[in-house]
Amino acid sequence: MAQTGTIYLVGAGPGDPDLLTLRAARLIESARVIVHDGLVDPAILALARGDAQLISVAKRRSHHTLPQEEISELLVRVARSGQDIVRLKGGDPFVFGRGGEEAEVARAAGVAVEVVPGISAANGAAAAAQIALTHRDASSIVSFVAGQCKGLKDQDWAGLAGKGRTLVVYMGVKTAPQIAEKLMEDGLSPDMPVAVIENGTRPDMRVLRGLLAGLPDLVEHEKVVSPALIVIGEVTARDDVALAVAAQEAAR
Q: Which residues are catalytic, by number?
A: 37, 59
CB atoms within 10 A of CB 98: 17
> 194 pairs with which residues across the strands?
210, 232
Which residues are CB-neighbours of 118 under 8 A, at least 6 positions away? 10, 11, 12, 13, 19, 20, 21, 24, 89, 91, 92, 93
Q: Coil, strand or helix: which one is 44? A: helix
CA distance 183 to 162: 10
CA distance 166 to 159: 10
CA distance 230 to 86: 29
Helix (H) or strand (E) holding 125: helix 121-128
Using alpha carbons only, give the angle 224, 225, 229 rounded to the nearest 5 degrees. 80
Contact 232, 180 (CB under 8 A): no
Closest CA to 39 of 251, 228, 213, 215: 228
- DSSP assignment, residue 80? H
Helix (H) or strand (E) holding 229: strand 228-232
